[in-house]
Structure 1
Amino acid sequence: MSAASMELSSPGPRRLVQPGPRNDAILMLCFAVAVLAMPLWLDPIGAAYPDLMQKFAIYGIFAIGFNILFGLTGYLSFGHAAFLGVGSYTAVWSFKLLTMNVLPAVAFGILFAGLFAAAIGFISLRRTGIYFSILTLAFAQMCYNLAYSVLTPITNGETGLQLTAQDPRILDSWFGVVPEVGLPSTNLFGLEMSGYPGFYFCGVILIIGFYLALRITRSPFGMMLRGIKSNQNRINYTGVHARPYALTAFIISGMYAGLAGTMLAATDPLAGAERMQWTASGEVVLMTILGGAGTLLGPVLGAALIKYFENIFSAFNDQVLHQVFAFLPDGVESVVVGILSLFVGEGWHLTLGVLFMLIVIFLPGGLMEGFRRLGRVAARRRQRRQAAGTASHQGAQ
């Protein structure tokens, strides 16, 4: 059975593998191998270049963190882009003031995003349902507008926060790091965070983030979060106050988003207010739902799918389509290309919308539900073959 089917096992009339230490270890091993081997298995689909694989890893982190809140507790936030932006701005300020080493930036990005999430969550979690979602959206838009106007000395407004040759970088000066000619590049103890080294750094962080999410999901704390999603009123009636658990999940989720923002700045050292826009918050919601909310692998798959559409599928144009369908008669080729051109290039959002609609209608549990169904079909066929083999053996006797 595949790692995906092991992850999504649940008690019921079907014979499914239950979560356990051994199965979790196999899942982690398969996930780590898949992430580290991305340059190999992504090459056939044209997605094996470092910048795109970095995005797969970074937005996978973002989606994993969002899933801890939405998938486990059922609280739908439309404001997680605010924490993404806070992580990015904090990281760039770390590069400007302290050092170009990414580790302090990662630490400060997670810390400040967590503090910011605690403040917003403390207020927003006084409401539930659609009111909670509206509050988080309002806070995110406030942050976006503040970054463009009032907080310009910190965020540099429309231009965005960028590195300059005159930045002090105190720690680098103390430790005798020789400044580069022009703008310096981010590094991990001298290893530049670009190309494949940058991807593997993001990939390792993704694996660590996935492991922490796995431990949270399997822990008693994770069970409490699922109880809140199932019936929060019943949890409160038992004498357990659910809000501190939900607030903790909100903070952890915000810290994941801050980490993702930090990684964006580490691989491309600039920060702009557009990372805090409501569309970025909506994007992570789509990632989680497409992959499968409440699952472990689903959000990562959803993030990879959307980023693939955004960076690869959107590059298709009429010329590429004409090359693909050149075997058709001229009249038929023109019609086919004319129709398909609406769904590629700048129209890739239309394809994504159709895909999202089909998944919501036919696979409410996302892509992971589709893998579950395929696993069940394969299991039933295997059982039929075994039963047929046993019957034929008994008949021969």
Structure 2
Amino acid sequence: MFSLAKKDLLSLGVFALIVLAMPFWLSPLGAAYPALMQKLAIFAIFAVGFNILFGLTGYLSFGHAAFLGIGSYTAVWSFKLLTMNVVPAVVFAVVMSGVFALAIGYLSLRRSGIYFSILTLAFAQMSYSLAYSVLTPITNGETGLLLVQGDPRVLDALFAEPRQGLPVPTLLGLDMSGYAGFYFCAAMLVIAFYLSQKIFASPFGLALRGIKSNQTRMNYTGFNTRPYTLAAFVISGMYAGLAGGLLAVTDPLAGAERMQWTASGEVVLMTILGGVGTLVGPVVGAWLIKYLENIFSAFNESILQRFFSFLPDGLDTFVVTVTSKFVGDGWHLTLGLMFVLVVAFLPGGIMEGIHRIVRSFQRRGDREPDGSLKAQPAE
């Protein structure tokens, strides 16, 4: 159950090393601060889970933000009613999101293709409307669900020493803020990636790939695909719930904006940009988009003027004027242009480009100095 193939084990080790070393390699990029690194880990979990549904089965959901929001609301209620310990909050967030995913998936998977996508979008928008205006006693409406000093926190009242001020989420006595919060999210990302590896390599994962390849043919052979697609939908929803719960762990509040259709569209962009159906691609896409959102959006003309100050007078003004349209408030233009280029020239996402580069070096290694192919030994 816990074993991995040697290649997958090596991939997991390299991935864990990269994730845990974020504070070091993100420092030159200006992104080595805990709040951003927490987002990078959390939205990578969101994208990895979405890829289990979209990448393996081909079912494109536009409603996964609903599970992200449900996970956040559940975690905050756990903090308010039970304890500030993050373990129950994360567990309840995953379970509750799985329950909602089971109900929504059971109804939505009666259809496929664009009809499935529209159904999931409709459920997500209904969830957003319920959270924003109908279920205000539970969600606190547009204000959002917040912690207050008078929350009961039954378990903390029984077993923990009272603290001055507003409590913060904790794990083993550590406040889940700053680097402690990041490393908790990073550990969750490594575990989520490992589980994704197991799913991809399992007979269950192979069945999902068969569904994506030709679901009609599988049905005609007597293979009941419905339980498999529903299981993939529920697992994907639980990943989204985990991401939502971690958002509440690092910043204990929950709002309806996390359920908006734009959040669902964002995870689609992350997966396609990185590489649908690949293990690492969705993580790369999530990191790239969140980096652009948090770093590129902070650039302004004064920063650009200092950066291009080495150019001759007049040319620097022109370059700054053009570049300013792609950063700051216009960072979405950079994202859109990047997405168009990837879809047009790298349909498999960034990971396809990386694989092409690796293959080109391998082909060079297979050639003699005169350019001819090396002789291969007979089998």
TM-score band by shorter chain is over 0.9
Contact 2:81 2:152 (C-alpha < 8 Å) held by counterparts: yes
AA aligned opposite 2:61: S
Deviation sequence 1:249-277 (CA, Å, 0-9, x none) = 00000000000000000000000000000
Identity %, equivalent residues: 68
Q: Secondary structure at the match of 2:314?
A: helix
2:264 matched to 1:288?
no
Contact 2:57 2:212 (C-alpha < 8 Å) held by counterparts: yes
For 1:386 and 1:37, locate their aligned partners in 2 and report how far apart those are by CA, in whole Å.
Answer: 39
2:179 matched to 1:196?
yes
Alignment-derived partner of residue 62 in structure 1? 46
Q: Secondary structure at the match of 1:167?
A: coil
AA aligned opposite 2:270: M
Structure 1 residue aligned with 2:208, among 212, 225, 236?
225
Label 1:390 to 1:297 Cα distance change in 2 as closer, same or farther (>3 A). closer
2:241 matched to 1:258?
yes
Structure 1 residue aligned with 2:293, among 305, 310, 329?
310
For 2:284 and 2:358, locate their aligned partners in 1 and report how far apart those are by CA, in whole Å.
Answer: 17
Alignment-derived partner of residue 51 in structure 1? 35
Alignment-derived partner of residue 133 in structure 2? 149
Q: Secondary structure at the match of 2:152?
A: coil
Alignment-derived partner of residue 163 in structure 1? 147
For 2:236 and 2:198, locate their aligned partners in 1 and report how far apart those are by CA, in whole Å.
Answer: 14
For 2:62 and 2:276, locate their aligned partners in 1 and report how far apart those are by CA, in whole Å.
Answer: 15
**By how many angstroms is 1:384 displaced?**
1.6
Alignment-derived partner of residue 81 in structure 2? 97
AA aligned opposite 1:262: G
For 1:389 and 1:46, locate their aligned partners in 2 and report how far apart those are by CA, in whole Å.
Answer: 45
Deviation sequence 1:217-274 (CA, Å, 0-9, x none) = 0000000000000000011011011111000000000000000000000000000000
For 2:252 and 2:90, locate their aligned partners in 1 and report how far apart those are by CA, in whole Å.
Answer: 13
Q: Secondary structure at the match of 2:367?
A: helix
Q: Secondary structure at the match of 1:33?
A: helix
Structure 1 stretches (4+) deviating beyond 3 angstroms? Answer: 385-391
Contact 2:367 2:373 (C-alpha < 8 Å) held by counterparts: no
Alignment RMSD, CA only?
Answer: 1.3
**By how many angstroms is 1:179 displaced?**
2.3
Q: State the number of aligned residues.
A: 371
Alignment-derived partner of residue 17 in structure 1? none
**By how many angstroms is 1:381 displaced?**
1.1
**By how many angstroms is 1:150 displaced?**
1.1
Contact 2:61 2:116 (C-alpha < 8 Å) held by counterparts: yes
2:124 matched to 1:180?
no
2:121 matched to 1:137?
yes
For 1:295 and 1:164, locate their aligned partners in 2 and report how far apart those are by CA, in whole Å.
Answer: 42
Deviation sequence 1:147-181 (CA, Å, 0-9, x none) = 01110000000100000000010111121x12222
For 1:319 and 1:294, locate their aligned partners in 2 and report how far apart those are by CA, in whole Å.
Answer: 41
Structure 1 residue aligned with 2:221, among 222, 226, 238?
238
Deviation sequence 1:179-198 (CA, Å, 0-9, x none) = 22221010102111111111
Alignment-derived partner of residue 357 in structure 1? 340
Structure 1 residue aligned with 2:58, among 60, 74, 77?
74
2:324 matched to 1:341?
yes
**By how many angstroms is 1:113 displaced?**
0.1
Alignment-derived partner of residue 10 in structure 2? 26
Q: Secondary structure at the match of 1:384?
A: coil
2:99 matched to 1:115?
yes
For 1:385 and 1:260, locate their aligned partners in 2 and report how far apart those are by CA, in whole Å.
Answer: 50
Contact 2:366 2:373 (C-alpha < 8 Å) held by counterparts: no
Q: Secondary structure at the match of 2:326?
A: coil
For 1:172 and 1:329, locate their aligned partners in 2 and report how far apart those are by CA, in whole Å.
Answer: 64
Query: More deviation in 166-175 or 273-282?
Result: 166-175
**By how many angstroms is 1:202 displaced?**
0.3
